[in-house]
Chain A
């Protein structure tokens, strides 16, 4: 990382912002791995056991976690990574379904609230209150009710993911829809624009950066919701189940748990990455629109 800072005035500044960002992310990951291994090395050579015992059960080597992915789950079974990838698809399905439904509900609420102060005053307290109830308390209820009305298990889990998704989207949509300059709204008024024209031509485009910020938060939240939702649902096929099983067997095969955690993180990163790609497509940023040359000139002038 210090390397990156030092180069900032030199070659670093010449890289495109995207490359710079990717390099920073890689730097962070490498730093974390390095910190993990260094801790292990120093603590075990000095015989320290606090705060965490640096043995191979509690803190396996990073490469051992990765190697574990390519071992069979059980004797004669599939490779762990294959098993986890199949589980990822199940969990992703729940998360994506919940994300889409929750996102739409959140957007709808944002639009409703910006249109009607009355609706905002009437429902906003409930929207906020909904998030004060811990998800762990909600999940079993949703599963029970979902079962009662004949919802497939995975859909019940999706409902939980939606529950975590809609809130940030609703709040940010509302903020974004309120973000246009008052003069812009007055211009719309002077064109005698009807409310839907104001919404789609001014407010929604202005809100897109806000909405995507929320969607990125929600993408992770939807995965968390799906993982947590799988537990009370007794859903056997997803990553949540694998996390539970392996954590119960932590003492004997901690590497499997860590490997699963890595896959969970990868799934989260993948999902957020997809949302980020969509953002690049739908939210034209100045940086990406600017001709490359000007950007370089500015970057080197600004230092």
Chain B
């Protein structure tokens, strides 16, 4: 979709300027120019967000910028979704969905910004992400994963004592012999402060930001890069 590259460039620029209206105008202009909503999502919104993700990975942007970008992207997706036949994004390209992921904040943890951003990236990365919100009890993570046939449970924790609660999820997976089919991935500021901590709480993997969360999950569920 070469023709969409200029739109992608403009959308990316609007994101870096944190220009909500500008971003939405670019998306609308691409649709008005006759491109299908799905193509706009695939070739304008997602690559631009990817580039922002890389900047975040390199510590080039602040939380305020990530916050506004996530909002612009959410609004753009909502508009494009309305133009498409399906409401919830599961897969965005011709490949089948990469699978279901259960996402939530650890028991006792009320931080939600990072988790929501991870959710947006996972959806755009091709996963069906079910977000259970803040302060999710260990059993609810596991029960929902079983019911939804999820391949991964993703837990966000920013505090040490809530990170410790993740051990309970590992214990439940073990008790119910689910360890082979359900992987446990964790993230949040506290895991970035201590790169060893994820192992101590019984997780299979961690990722330092939303962008690498997608890479890590792809590797974990399908050996994909």
Co-assembled chains A and B:
no
- Chain B contact residues, CB within 8 Å of chain A: none
